[in-house]
Structure 1
């Protein structure tokens, strides 16, 4: 099985690209979806986060307040490292189990949608790295509009990741998502056709 790591900067349009790949019939395993699942109330990661940050990190219905958590981890590298130590091994274990399951069914390739692929040093866990590219200015505009953040909040989230230029250095494929969706879709059509040969 070919494992392709799909990554990109925050608000680069990676989820849009992942959706286009799914439309082409390619299996996508999403790290963010898994992160949400492992942090659901009662899960071990949820328990560890609540023991660490207290119940004030929860909404009134017991769910981890992701915005509040984001405000903590995007301004404190030590806190971010602690959260990653709790969540990342669990996320990878679930992703790897899912890939193994698909391989047993005869699936020849999967996309592992991992925003922090390079930050986690998981490059060796995948066969290729596909990077969704958008300039930092475009990331900033999209992130402020999407998440209703101030410029300072948005920049803190962008700077918590490696720069898009650093990620370009290790990418095997660069998908330019700085134009309109038709241009992005055309790139995905070519890449998916190559995969599905």
Structure 2
């Protein structure tokens, strides 16, 4: 974008299109990091797997869920089915994983600032960790409920009940970002990529004007 680097968070509810929005910004020259990929890397660490299994093995056994595959790796889908079934389970998992997510995302943002590189952090959970303070603005990608439901079903092939459980867990996500003290902009995504690109461009104009102190 020129001048002082811009660090953005792109977020949104499940299947709203935040990945597509992040890819649009990446094509414009933004360095991009996907928090889901960061989590995936963390959950591949044997010490983290050991902590997760120790924390949830009893709860998983009660529900007939196997958390570990035969090769010893963590079954992320099974873990997801468990932690999204109860709010307390999700909080317990996040207490293990999020501190390391925060550390890695902060390092990414700091590195981009040092290089003068605009950057986008693609993340749903950024409002829960300190790295939100590194972001100049939040782009919240939104889409109609049934559009998201069908997208999630086609993309992840999960049972509807599991998709709806995740939808329910994210029901107040926009208000949580609004309360995070980050400038938050809602961008609509109905499924047409060209429309999303236009909406992102309009949002970026607003962010740039705010950055310059204009209305």
- TM-score, normalised relative to structure 2: 0.79
Partner-residue secondary structure (3-state), 2:119: strand
Query: Where do 1:130-149 residues align within 5 Å?
Result: 130-149=139-158
Secondary structure of 1:81's counterpart equals: helix
Structure-1 residue corresponding to 2:196? 184
Q: TM-score, normalised by structure 1?
A: 0.85
Matched, 1:162 2:171: yes
Q: Does 1:172 align with 2:184?
A: yes
2:62 paired residue number = none
Task: Report the Cα distance in structure 2 between the residues aligned to 1:178 and 1:162, rounded to whole angstroms.
Answer: 18
Q: Supply the distance in 2 between the matched residues of 1:169 and 1:137 (Cα, whole angstroms).
A: 24
**Partners of 1:77 and 1:35 in 2: how far apart?**
19
Task: Detail structure 1 runs of 4+ shifted over 6 Å in the superposition.
Answer: 193-197
Separation of aligned partners in 1, 2:28 and 2:120: 12
Distance 2:156 2:66 in 1: 22
Q: 1:21 aligns with which of 25, 29, 42?
A: 25
Q: Which runs of 5+ in 1 are unaligned?
A: none
Shift of 1:103: 1.7
Local SS of the residue matching 2:127: coil
Task: Name the count of aligned residue pairs.
Answer: 195
Of the three residues 9, 21, 34, the one matched with 1:5 is 9
Listed one character per residue, the Cα deviations across residues 104-147 of structure 1 (whole Å, up to 9, x for unaligned) are 2222x321111123355865442211100102222112112221
**Deviation of 1:84 (Å):** 0.5
CA RMSD across the alignment: 2.7
Where 1:7 maps in the other structure, the secondary structure is strand
> 2:111 corresponds to which residue?
101
- Kept in 2, the 8 Å contact 1:74–1:157? The answer is yes
Tell me: CA distance 1:119–1:12, structure 2 relative to 1, closer, same or farther (3 Å).
Answer: farther
Map of 2:61 onto structure 1: none
Cα 1:12/1:2, change in 2 over 3 Å? same
Question: Equivalences for 1:51-66 in 2 at 5 Å?
Answer: 51-54=54-57, 56-66=66-76
